[in-house]
Homo-oligomer: A and B are copies of this chain.
């Protein structure tokens, strides 16, 4: 007998559910999925432990919603940017726009990305969600840019361009390597991406 999961319709219910997701988001980011327990989530969300199971089937279910939240925050703006590429513009301009957006998104979503990727490794379902999202972004970029008659638009090139952007953004946000000059890195990334498409 499948347990009845509340589909929140009242305003208060919706907010409770959101508080839990937010708490999950925060704690999974900070401490990781496996090092976070439901009691901590409930406390962070300022609700009782019991009610968590009124809104979610299990802990993994919270994770899924956190992922949705993440997707909303990260991928939606990407797709929005994609949709707004109205006409063929200067390649460099486009690259810079993407870089600015990517950097902004990374700063906000900070640690959650890697944590989610990490959980994905041991969870086929979550892994598929992520791969599929990346696929979509790549392929939609390909489609869009081809439609706008950019040159050399291949799956492989777009894939590499995105990885390069990821390389820069990652460094810019985590600041792991002291010997990297981020402006230089950025210039080089732009240079390389331009090399791909010119």
Contacts and interface: CB of A to CB of B under 8 A. Distances in A.
B192 A135 contact: no
Interface stretch (A63-71, A92-100, A157-165): A157-165
Interface stretch (A13-21, A74-82, A83-91, A182-190): A182-190
Interface in A21-56: 31-35, 39, 43
A60 to B, nearest CB: 12
A100 B192 CA distance: 22
Interface residues of A, number: 44
Q: A111, A134, A195 — which one has the most chain B CB atoms within 10 A of its CB?
A: A195
A163 B193 CA distance: 14
A196 B114 CA distance: 28
A42 B122 CA distance: 20
A192 B161 CA distance: 10
A118 interface: yes
Contacts of A191: 195
